[in-house]
Amino acid sequence: MEMELGEAASLDGSAHCARKAVGVDAEGKEKNLKRLRRIEGQVRGIQKMVEEERYCADVLTQISSVHEALRAVARELMRNHLKHCATAAIKADGESAEAMYDELVDLMYKHTR
């Protein structure tokens, strides 16, 4: 899920590349996958609520719950990215470090809107 530095891709995911994480904690990965499966079930539940024309406020509450659950996964991924991918690139210094600084600034901007 995390990406190595050196392969070009836009932050919006428009480029498809085979970048891999520098370091992935197996326990963290499994925790995130479990969370994502739970979120997937929540989204299916929301779809069913819409199909059944459930009360809008109830649907919106469930959407908010999914949003927060996704943010929790994003926080874990960001932590891993900083701990492994970013640290490795910054320690490498030079062009790799500069590219990582740009990537981190872009990520922070994108995820704080």
20 domain-assigned: no
Count of residues for the chain?
A: 113
Supply the pTM of this predicted model. 0.73
d(CA 73, CA 79): 10
**Tens digits of per-residue pLDDT, 39-73?**
999 999 999 999 999 999 999 999 999 999 999 99
- Show the tokens assigned to 83: 């701990």
- Structural domain contains residue 68: yes
Q: Please report whether residue 103 resides in a domain.
A: yes
Domain membership flag for residue 32: yes
pLDDT tens figures, 13-39? 444 346 777 777 888 899 999 999 999
User: Which residues contact residue 7 at a Cβ distance below 8 angstroms, ignoring those fewer than 6 apart?
Assistant: 17, 18, 19
Domain that holds residue 76: 26-111
- In the chain, the number of structural domains is 1
16 located within any domain: no
CATH number at residue 54: 1.20.58.1000
